[in-house]
A = this chain, B = another copy of it.
Amino acid sequence: MRIVVLAGGIGGARFLRGLKDALHNRADQAEPQHSITVIGNTGDDITLFGLRVCPDLDTVMYTLGGGINEEQGWGRADETFSVREELKAYGMQPQWFGLGDRDVATHIVRSQMLAAGYPLSAITEALCDRWQPGVRLLPMTDDQVETHVLVADGSGRRAIHFQEWWVRHRAQIPAESFVSVGADSATPAPGVLEAVEEADFVLLPPSNPVVSIGSILGIPGIRDAVAAKTVVGVSPIIGGAPVRGMADACLRAIGVETSARAVAEHYGPELLDGWLVDEADAGVVVEGVEVRALPLYMSDPERTAAIARAAVELAVELGERS
């Protein structure tokens, strides 16, 4: 099978690890090989201290490559923070984004390659040469697209970078809207549309539907290509609350209820064919979308693989039907 997965950070990365496990453990192993192409969100990329940071791509790469800080879900294992301490001693801003030393090296490599003229897709491939994530990891675009957040608080109404809203303010300042700066004129990275077109189906992990999956679908051409395929999503909302992260604050900003049903309706039946919800949401009905309920907490590798397996099975089933 050829599978395409649109992925944000932690949720997407863990789902992908489960998917790799599920594909290798399938009973019908007779089938030769399954390829996974990941289209990663780059909307929350940011330039810090002159270094280009791609949090979601790196979380996928580190998680699948065995370098992730497991407890935290992002950043490197066995990390040190000398650079951060020193930048603070120099009074450098911002101090709310804590770059670890091992992580900094990744950004140094990326920034140097960018300065040398390489596109992000080629750089991501080069970084993956080391990490061997076992998937083909593509950025959604080689163009610079950054999610900014329109907020209003005591300091007035202003747009701030998504990371400032998310990391510095913990999404606690109400967001009025999200702007994907640069998306209008961006084009999908080389290989993205081809991978979708050749895919047997597309999976949406329980990533943030607004600022992760939403950013990817916002690159002109990607939504249409994906909509033409069998698409199965995994709900990031269980019983009215995000599985992790602060997706509720994002959904609120775009006027979508924090529920498994509302997120599926937000994706819409023209995009979505199948939808996995947690047992807590069993009975949810989404018009035009096949809904299945099963335990959705990715609490351990086995559970996560079971979720991925259910997504694959539903996609195969829906694909055979159509």
* A residues in contact (CB < 8 Å) with B: 49-51, 79-80, 82-87, 89-92, 100-102, 104-106, 108-109, 111-112, 115, 127, 130
Contact = CB atoms under 8 A, between A and B. Distances in A.
A79 to B, nearest CB: 7
Prevailing SS type, chain A contact patch: helix
A83 B112 contact: no
A102 B83 contact: yes
Q: What is the count of identical protomers in the complex?
A: 2
Contacts of A109: 49, 87, 90, 92
A82 to B, nearest CB: 4
Contacts of A85: 102, 105
A87 B101 contact: no
Contact of A102 (B50, B82, B111): B82
Contacts of A49: 108-109, 112
A50 to B, nearest CB: 4
A130 B108 CA distance: 24
Contact of A83 (B90, B108, B115): B108
Which of A83, A112, A127 is most buried by chain B, counting CB atoms within 10 A of its CB? A83
A87 B112 CA distance: 12
Given A80-B80, A91-B130, A130-B91, A86 B112 contact: no
A130 B50 contact: no
A91 B126 CA distance: 10
Nearest to A126: B90
Nearest to A105: B86
B50 A115 contact: yes
Contacts of A82: 79-80, 82, 100-102, 104-105
A46 to B, nearest CB: 14
A127 to B, nearest CB: 7
Given A49-B108, A108-B51, A101 B115 contact: no
Given A51-B108, A92-B109, A130-B91, A86 B102 contact: yes
A92 to B, nearest CB: 6
A91 B127 CA distance: 10
A263 to B, nearest CB: 37
